[in-house]
Amino acid sequence: MNLIEEKIKKLENKRVKWNISQETIEFIVNSLLFDKIKVLEIGTFNGYSALWFAKVADKVVSLEIDSERFNEAKENLKSVDNVELILGNALEEIDRLGEKFNVVLIDAMKSEYKKYLEKVLNVLDDDFMIFVDNTISHKEKMGDFFEYIESLNWLEWKETGLGDGLIVIKRKV
Ligand X SMILES: C[S@@+](CC[C@H](N)C(=O)[O-])C[C@H]1O[C@@H](n2cnc3c(N)ncnc32)[C@H](O)[C@@H]1O
Q: Using CB under 6 A as the criterion, which residues of the chain lie in contact with ligand X when the complex forms?
A: 18-20, 42-43, 45-46, 48-49, 63-66, 69, 89-91, 107-109, 112
Instruction: Considering the complex, state which of residue 61 and residue 149 has its C-beta at the smaller distance from ligand X.
Output: 61
In the complex, least distance from residue 115 CB atom to ligand X, rounded to whole angstroms: 8
CA distances from 12 to 27, 80, 89, 139 (A): 16, 17, 26, 26
Residue 42 to residue 121: CA distance in whole angstroms: 13
Instruction: Considering the complex, state which of residue 112 and residue 117 has its C-beta at the smaller distance from ligand X.
Output: 112
Instruction: Considering the complex, state which of residue 45 and residue 128 has its C-beta at the smaller distance from ligand X.
Output: 45
In the complex, least distance from residue 156 CB atom to ligand X, rounded to whole angstroms: 24
The partner residues of 41 in beta bridges, in order of sequence, read: 62, 105
In the complex, least distance from residue 5 CB atom to ligand X, rounded to whole angstroms: 16
Return the half-sphere exposure (C-beta side, CA atoms, 13 A cut-off) of residue 57: 27
Residue 78 to residue 147: CA distance in whole angstroms: 40
